[in-house]
């Protein structure tokens, strides 16, 4: 909490007090109040009590420790790719994915009241800076990384430098008393971030009865020729639609590659059960991270 800029601390304390008084309604998110994760929390569960956390680990810990019922975490952006470190954090958290949410991303350039530029620097989360890189380059504004978008807006308010700006959601300008210099500074009009919602307990097939579902899993293949091909073949031959396959290295040995996978369907469906059975035979480790309602049709 004390790692936030001073203007954000008042907002953090107010939201935290409300969330901690009603843990069953609390939905943890990473960032200062006014960030896109805050927006996602309110869109996904309008009646929730948003709980701001400084880091992804803090948000996940809030759920594990019972201070929040769920956490909402960004996992990938249509323009800038996957969110750094999230593939390590999700499996290690011990939590289950119970939902997904797609949030259209619209960034605003904001500054102190009355400041109109030119601006020497724009502070924001690296993802937001990457999503606005053409806008910044055309105007000669230097991108400066900050822990999160709304925190950057609070930092601009605290710093008091009229030559500095922030890239953040419009909500942040309202919360921290900044002027919006320009709206929609993202480089792509269809810029969208996918969030996942995590809880202590997974959803069961009964919870998902009658709904189209997604399942997320991670696995490591055995160190034998064509192991990955054979794992993937199990999904193909059983007609299971794989919508995401990403590899990443765990540890420094570089000898075992981990794979993060999203599929359409859930355990209990015959095609999915057969595909997972085949995958498990050729995988060294395979772990389901959760099945959850499909928020947007794939394919």
pLDDT for res 1: 46
For residue 277, what are its two tokens?
Answer: 């059975």
- What is the pTM assigned to this prediction? 0.91
3-state secondary structure the chain: CCCCCHHHHHHHHHHHHHHHHCCCCEEEEECCCCCHHHHHHHHHCCCCEEEEECCHHHHHHHHHCCCCCEEEEEEEECCCEECCCHHHHHHHHCCEEEEEEEEECCCEEEECCCCCCCCCEEEECHHHHHHCHHHHHHHCCEEEECCCHHHHHHHHHHHCCCCEEEEECHHHHHHHCCEEEECCCCCCCCCEEEEEEEECCCCCCCCCCCCCEEEEEEEEECCCCCHHHHHHHHHHHCCCCEEEEEEEECCCCCCCEEEEEEEECCCCCHHHHHHHHHHHHHEEEEEEEEEEECCCCCC
In whole angstroms, what is the distance from residue 221 CA to residue 227 CA?
6
pLDDT digits (tens, 9 = 90+) for 208-220: 999 999 999 999 9
**CB-based contact 154:5 (threshold 8 Å):** yes
What are 244-279's pLDDT values in tens digits?
999 887 766 666 688 999 999 999 999 999 999 999
Give me 194's structure tokens. 């996918």
Helix axes 86-93, 56-64, angle to 10 degrees: 10
- Token pair, residue 240, equals 């299971």
| pLDDT confidence of residue 221 | 86
Binned at pLDDT 50, 70 and 90, residue 38 comes out as very high
Q: Which of 16, 193, 215, 216 is catalytic?
A: 193
Task: Tell which residue, 167, 121, 134, has the closest CA to residue 148.
Answer: 167
Of 219, 198, 207, 223, the closest CA to residue 268 belongs to 207
> Given 29, 54, 195, 282, which residue is catalytic?
195
**49 pLDDT band (50/70/90 cuts)?**
very high
Kind of pairing between the strands at 121-124 and 70-77: unpaired
Map out the domains of the chain with their CATH numbers.
Answer: 6-103+192-199 (3.40.190.10), 108-182 (3.40.190.10), 213-293 (3.30.70.260)
Helices (H) and strands (E) in the chain, counts: 10, 15
Confidence of residue 2 (pLDDT cuts 50, 70, 90): low
195 annotated active-site: yes
To the query of whether residue 193 is one of the catalytic residues in this protein, the response is yes
Averaged pLDDT for residues 133-151: 95
**163-219: per-residue pLDDT in tens?**
999 999 999 999 999 999 999 999 998 989 999 999 999 999 999 999 999 999 999
- What pLDDT is recorded for position 181? 97
Statement: residue 88 has pLDDT above 90: no
């Amino acid at each position: 909490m004390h790692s936030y800029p001073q203007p954000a601390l008042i907002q953090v304390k107010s939201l935290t007090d409300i969330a901690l008084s009603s843990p069953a309604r609390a939905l943890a998110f990473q960032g200062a109040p006014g960030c896109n994760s805050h927006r996602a929390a309110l869109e996904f569960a309008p009646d929730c009590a948003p709980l701001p956390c400084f880091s992804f680990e803090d948000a996940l810990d809030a759920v594990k420790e019972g201070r929040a019922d769920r956490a909402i975490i960004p996992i990938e952006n249509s323009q800038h790719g996957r969110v750094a470190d999230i593939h390590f954090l999700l499996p290690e958290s011990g939590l289950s994915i119970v939902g997904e949410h797609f949030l259209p991303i619209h960034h605003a350039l904001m500054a102190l009241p009355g400041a109109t530029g030119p601006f020497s620097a724009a502070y924001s989360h690296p993802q937001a800076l990457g999503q606005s890189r053409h806008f910044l380059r055309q105007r000669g504004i230097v991108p400066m990384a900050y822990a999160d978008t709304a925190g950057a807006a609070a930092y601009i308010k605290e710093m008091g430098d009229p030559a500095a700006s922030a890239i953040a959601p419009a909500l942040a300008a309202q919360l921290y008393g900044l002027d919006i210099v320009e709206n929609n500074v993202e480089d792509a009009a269809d810029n969208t971030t996918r969030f996942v919602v995590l809880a202590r307990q997974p959803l069961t097939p009964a919870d998902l009865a009658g709904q189209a579902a997604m399942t997320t899993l991670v696995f490591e293949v055995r160190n034998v020729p064509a192991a990955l091909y054979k794992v993937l073949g199990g999904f193909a031959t059983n007609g299971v639609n794989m919508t995401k396959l990403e590899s990443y290295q765990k540890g420094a040995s570089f000898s075992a590659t981990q794979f993060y996978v999203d599929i359409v369907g859930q355990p209990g469906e015959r095609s999915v059960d057969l595909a997972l059975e085949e995958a498990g035979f050729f995988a060294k480790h395979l772990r389901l991270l959760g099945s959850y309602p499909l928020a947007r049709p794939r394919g």
